[in-house]
Amino acid sequence: MIALVFTFVPALLTALVPRAEAGCAAPYTGAALVKDLGSVASALRNMDDSAFSSSGKALEAGLPCLDQTAPPQLYASAYRYIGAVHFLVDNDVPGARRWFRSSLELEPTYQWDAQELDLGNPLRQAWEAERPNAQAEGELVKGKELAIPSGSAMLLDGRNLVEARATLDRPHLLQSAVVNSRHADGTWLLDGNAFPDETLKVPAPVAVVVEDPKGKKPKTDPKAAPKPTEAPAVVKAEPKPKAEPVAKAEPAPKAEPVAKAEPVKSKPEPVAKAEPAKSETKPANSKVASTTSVTGEDGVQHMTVQRTRPKEKTPLIIVGGVGLAAAVGLYAYSWKVEQDFNEATTTDELERLQASNHAFVIASGASLLVGAGIGYWGVVLDGNTVGFSFGGRF
């Protein structure tokens, strides 16, 4: 048992610890992403050029190493601030426009706040110029399809992806994650629809059946067709000789009437009453069943056995069922909290919803254990076995 624990725990820790992508010194966590977003937004409002540049550079460098998935609105904010750093710090207008197109594709109605960016700032003109160019149709990778691992999903900028398609002339963040999990086991920063080779595969060939438009069946070569075999001549059967007439049988003589037998009147012998067998000593934890004996008209004693139901059985089963229902309700509500987390836009709201989601999941697990234990004890309460049992009762 100890050896099993020491073998299982390291494997579990390895699975839970996010791995860094190739070229990343360390994973870029979701908490670091939210922190850098808050820093770059605050620096832009306070006109702190140094903090704005360092936070924006850290944000851009960390995206390819992100080990968690995030809602599309969060990626839209990240792309918007990275584009602002390219425009205001690096004087890279084409690069800034590319990031603006990615942000507007995810959040097409966003408007810069006047307290965050002056109304006369030229960045606003560059941003508005890319608004009509942002909503473009994605380009499909020809001859390839997504290689999605079993039990995983592919996400492009936080949105579910089912085919190798992305809009051109802008960056995208591609992630591979286990279904219903925020952990990303693969993250790539794409240029347009340039998907990495490890995420693509050649589609399986599809058999095509070509039908004759005229509906005619293919002709067969008469020379190759086998000749029909001639059936052997049937020999005529000789007629059977006529059967000789059979003499008629004489009718059997009538049977003499038989005298009716007089019924024999006999009284049934009295049946001795069966002595009830003495029961053997029962274990202390067994329940005694109530018995009722009735003697019929034929002198035979009939015994009816009725099971004694403990008073505690029904309340325990009801309480256990309520506990299980509460567990299901708490876990279902945690999904609602998770949806609110996906739609959150602020750091405080993300942290509050994350704590609430964890609390509901833990509470549902505790309610499940308590309800299952109480309900199981109520089921086996009137049995002969105390404790856990693999048997069934009907």
pTM score: 0.51
Res 183: pLDDT: 92
With bands split at pLDDT 50, 70 and 90, how would you rate the model's confidence at 247? very low
Flag whether pLDDT at 49 surpasses 50: yes
One-letter identity of residue 120 = G
Res 371: pLDDT: 77
Cα gap 102→88, rounded to integer Å: 18
The DSSP result for 248-297, as a single string, is PPPPPPPPPPPPPPPPPP-PPPPPPPPPPPPPPPPPTTSPPPEEEEEE-T
Res 283: pLDDT: 44
Residue written as tokens 């589609």?
A: 203
With bands split at pLDDT 50, 70 and 90, how would you rate the model's confidence at 212? low
Higher pLDDT: 208 or 145? It is 145
One-letter identity of residue 12 = L
Flag whether pLDDT at 294 surpasses 70: no
Flag whether pLDDT at 48 surpasses 50: yes
Res 343: pLDDT: 74
Q: What is the dihedral of CA 342, 345, 351, 357, to 10 degrees?
A: -20
pLDDT digits (tens, 9 = 90+) for 248-270: 545 544 545 544 545 445 454 55
Least confident of 7-11, 34-38, 159-163, 342-346: 7-11
Flag whether pLDDT at 350 surpasses 80: no
Flag whether pLDDT at 95 surpasses 80: yes
With bands split at pLDDT 50, 70 and 90, how would you rate the model's confidence at 191? very high
Other Cβ atoms less than 10 A from the Cβ of 88: the count is 19
Res 249: pLDDT: 46
Flag whether pLDDT at 235 surpasses 70: no
User: If you average pLDDT over residues 219-223, what whole number do you get?
Assistant: 51
User: If you average pLDDT over residues 85-107, what whole number do you get?
Assistant: 97
One-letter identity of residue 224 = A
The DSSP result for 139-177, as a single string, is EEPTT-EE-PPTTEEEEETTEEE-SSEE-SSSEEEEEEE
Over the chain, what is the mean pLDDT?
Answer: 76
